Amino acid sequence: MMEIAGLLVTYGSASLPLGREFIVKEAQIWSEILDNFRKAVEANNQKMETTVDGLNFDDFCDVFEHQKLETKIYHSRSKYSRSIIIAPNPATARSYSGHVYLDEIGFIHDFKDLWEAMEPIMSSDPRFRCIMATTPPNDDSHYSYELAVPPLGVEFTKENANPGGHWYESEAGVTVHRADAWDTELAGVKMFDTKTREPIATSEHRAKSLDRDAWDRNYALIFKTGGAAAVSLQAITGAMAMGRGKCLASEDDFPPNWRDILGPGIFSVGADPATTEKEKSNPFAITIIEHLGMLYIARLIIRFKTQDPAKAKAYLKEACDLGPGRRPRRLVIDATSEKFWAAEVKREFANICPVELLVSSEKTKYQGEEMLTKVYLGNLLVNTMDDGQLVLPECRWVKDDFRLVMRSRGSFDTLVDSAGNHGDTFDSTKNSLHGLISKNGPCVAVATQVGTYNTGNRKPVDRMRPDPSDDYKSKAVGVSFV
């Protein structure tokens, strides 16, 4: 701030709203920093102002907690650099325009949106720096997990501890400095027994810990998969690695020549409708899955926003048109919020392919157990991914959309991101998967030969289209499941 005139330095901490004790601790530290800062500024013949000048410590804490704590260093009568301390959120991030320091990013709500708001600012000036600190979050769906997780195959153990810590580049391309409890022990940082208050070795501290999982995250800095996200990061990364070059994802329109990637398997189309196009409304999502061997390959995932029901139907017709000589085994539509529109589609698509309507809040039976359709479909998709049988397009927004779905008390809930996305492609994909796995379907009663009488001059029976001229008197009626 003393070096660069007009610079803004922003401090954001997730601990601000957690309680008065955090406010007091941070206020104490900041008060000491201001005293040292003031001495340095005066020694540099510059002027410094803060919003807490002349206040006692309690008033200082109140400003820190309820207002924006701001410090200005004047370079001239009209130009100054300043620092502010704020609670980090996407709305305040729009005003960042300099160095940014963020604490405990693993506990900042909507951190992904905050990062998206900040990143263009960091890219606007090579002098700007963003420095963030955290321990790994307890939920691998938190965006800080993806930003900081080490690359596959890179492991840190107490055997390779280093007093200077370790530097690495994360999977997301972020430079990370890591210093776990074993590293800092070598650097001279002591840990103390919570009962005796005597110094204790790191390994002994872990052995005495009741919650080893929490210890591994907070002291050993281990990024563990799991948490509330229904789809693990490992499962979706593997599914997308298999889909590289085999699957497509598109927003707003079908990619050109998308049928060229279709194989010789059996197809199903799943849809999660939403007929609105507001800026933060849910999109309409469609997934086309091909069953080929042991794999379920999501050949195409598309999402778009529209308030025109005719456009939505046109997109569904395009998805069901797989080329000459083939059609989907089924079109499965989530009719929970669009019942009348879905019923209309079912009537109009009767000559195109079988259409099944699902309502998430209704109950269904799976292997004799009654459950909500929402629970059945969610588990169907998650289990297929965990088994390594689902193949997905390698696409960032598909990944983010899938990771919005959370497990909650035996069911599935979905977060809504800043653009209104609501796990819509997760829903369209699970519907499409159901269309391939479910055994329900239309049946056709046809004549089936049961004897040898008068078979010499008869034509072969087409089980889908029986010949009306056949002699039904010599046959029994059978049922063929499609």
DSSP 72-98: EEESSSS-EEEEEEE---HHHHTT--S
Question: Does residue 324 share a domain with residue 299?
Answer: yes
C-alpha distances in angstroms, 348 versus 272, 343, 351? 18, 9, 8
Q: One-letter amino acid identity for 75? A: H
Among candidates 456, 57, 90, 401, which has minimal Cα distance to 251?
401
- What is the structure's pLDDT at 409? 73
3 domain residue, yes or no: no
Tokens of 61: 């804490």
Question: Does residue 179 share a domain with residue 55?
Answer: yes
- CATH at 407: 3.30.420.240
146 domain residue, yes or no: yes
Question: Does residue 153 share a domain with residue 134?
Answer: yes
Length of the chain: 482
Question: Does residue 25 share a domain with residue 111?
Answer: yes
Neighbours of 216 (CB within 10 A): 17
276 domain residue, yes or no: yes
Tokens of 447: 């004549």
- What is the structure's pLDDT at 14? 66
Torsion of CA 360, 366, 371, 376, to 10 degrees: -40
Place of tokens 């009741």: 210
Long-range Cβ pairs for the range 340-348 (8 Å, 24+): 341/273, 341/275, 341/309, 341/312, 342/273, 345/313, 345/316, 348/313
Question: Does residue 284 share a domain with residue 198?
Answer: no
Question: Does residue 281 share a domain with residue 204?
Answer: no
- What is the structure's pLDDT at 19? 42
413 CB-near residues (< 8 Å, 6+ apart): 405, 406, 407
Residues of the chain with pLDDT below 70 are: 14-26, 64-68, 91-96, 226-227, 275, 277-280, 367, 439-482
Among candidates 318, 315, 314, 333, which has minimal Cα distance to 272?
333
Could you tell me if 375 and 411 are in contact, meaning their C-beta atoms sit under 8 angstroms apart? yes
Q: Backbone phi, then psi, for 105, in 5-degree steps?
A: -65, -25
Could you tell me if 147 and 122 are in contact, meaning their C-beta atoms sit under 8 angstroms apart? no
227 domain residue, yes or no: no
Question: Does residue 380 share a domain with residue 269?
Answer: yes
Question: Does residue 39 share a domain with residue 187?
Answer: yes
Q: Alpha-carbon distance 302 to 275, whole Å?
A: 15
Question: Does residue 110 share a domain with residue 20?
Answer: yes
185 CB-near residues (< 8 Å, 6+ apart): 161, 191, 201, 202
71 domain residue, yes or no: yes
Place of tokens 């019923």: 343
Question: pLDDT tens for residues 267-300?
Answer: 999 999 986 766 667 899 999 999 999 999 999 9
313 CB-near residues (< 8 Å, 6+ apart): 345, 348
- What is the structure's pLDDT at 317? 96
279 domain residue, yes or no: yes
SS3 312: helix
Please report the DSSP string for 373-412 in residue order: HHHHHHHHHHHHHHTT-EE----HHHHHHHTTEEEETTEE
Place of tokens 């919003």: 51
CA 314 to chain centre: 29
Please report the DSSP string for 225-291 in residue order: --SSBSS-HHHHHHHHHHTTTT-EEEESSPPTTGGGG--SSEEEEEEE--BB--TTSPPEEEEEEEE
As for how many domains the chain has, the answer is 3
β-pair partners for 270: 287, 332
Question: Does residue 392 share a domain with residue 284?
Answer: yes
- What is the structure's pLDDT at 447? 53
Domain residues for 113? Answer: 8-218
Q: Alpha-carbon distance 465 to 31, whole Å?
A: 86
351 domain residue, yes or no: yes
Question: pLDDT tens for residues 169-187?
Answer: 998 889 999 999 999 999 9
Beta strands 99-103 and 80-86 are: unpaired
Secondary structure, 3-state, 420-447: CCCCHHHHHHHHHHHHHHCCCCCEEEEE
Which of 193, 218, 243 terminates a domain? The answer is 218
SS3 99: strand
Could you tell me if 93 and 111 are in contact, meaning their C-beta atoms sit under 8 angstroms apart? no
Torsion of CA 340, 343, 344, 350, to 10 degrees: 180
- What is the structure's pLDDT at 152? 77
Question: Does residue 358 share a domain with residue 471?
Answer: no
Could you tell me if 152 and 225 are in contact, meaning their C-beta atoms sit under 8 angstroms apart? no
1 domain residue, yes or no: no
Question: Does residue 407 share a domain with residue 305?
Answer: yes
